[in-house]
Structure 1
Amino acid sequence: MEGRLGSSPLPQPQNLIGTWRRFGVTGPVYEIVDVGQMLSDDDCLMRVRLVETGEELDYRFTDILDDPREH
């Protein structure tokens, strides 16, 4: 991958699969379940599953990096 996703300071999207994060400081917890489509701005969509509801949705990789990790 080229651009932001290919630079070394950022984790690779596939390495986040199976990890847990939270939407913001107090938002719901989600699990990262898959890598989705690449976007034209060197970002990509990730498939995430909300723990509370089981609902799955696409969420930007760069937004995931801003969310706190959940243990």
Structure 2
Amino acid sequence: MLLNNADSACRHRASEILSLGSKMTSSDAKLYVPTGEIKTFGPLGPKYEVGQPLRPLDDGDWMIEIVLVETGETAEYRLRHLVEDPNAF
């Protein structure tokens, strides 16, 4: 029973985090950025490594630094788009 309660609590927290989505603002106490994860631009796009948050944007989104795996080039990418991209395999 304890495991079921913990699992339910985890699902509830995950749904809270997902519902924040584009509602995040610079005043949020905690900003989750999957720093160090390797993702792709869409299902077939090039791979990139997620870097650090750079700055909040006026629309509540965040600009995140990314590094393209193949070239080492750094770029800026919106968190809103980053969280929708799949993890690379």
Normalising by structure 2, report the TM-score. 0.65
Secondary structure of the residue aligned to 2:66 is strand
- Given candidates 62, 68, 75, the residue that maps to 1:44 is 62
> What's the C-alpha RMSD, in Å, of the aligned pairs?
2.0
Does 2:46 align with 1:4?
Answer: no
Rg (Cα) greater in structure = 2
Aligned length: 64
Question: How far apart are 1:38 and its partner, in Å?
Answer: 0.4
1:57 aligns with 2:75: yes
What is the one-letter code of the residue matched to 2:23? Answer: R
Q: Which runs of 5+ in 1 are unaligned?
A: none
The structure with the greater share of residues assigned to helix is 2
Q: Secondary structure at the match of 1:63?
A: helix
Q: Deviations over 1:7-53 (max 9, x none)?
A: xxxx712xx11111100111100001111110011100000000000
Higher relative contact order (Cα pairs below 8 Å, separated by 6+ residues) = 1
Give 1 or 2: higher strand fraction.
Answer: 1
Shift of 1:62: 0.3
Aligned partner of 1:28 in structure 2 is 46
Identity of aligned residues (%): 32
Cα deviation for residue 70 of structure 1 reads 1.5
TM-score between the two structures when normalised by the length of structure 1:
0.80
Q: Quick one: distance in 1 between partners of 2:77 and 2:69? A: 15
Moved over 3 A (4+): none
CA distance in 1 between counterparts of 2:59 and 2:35 reads 21
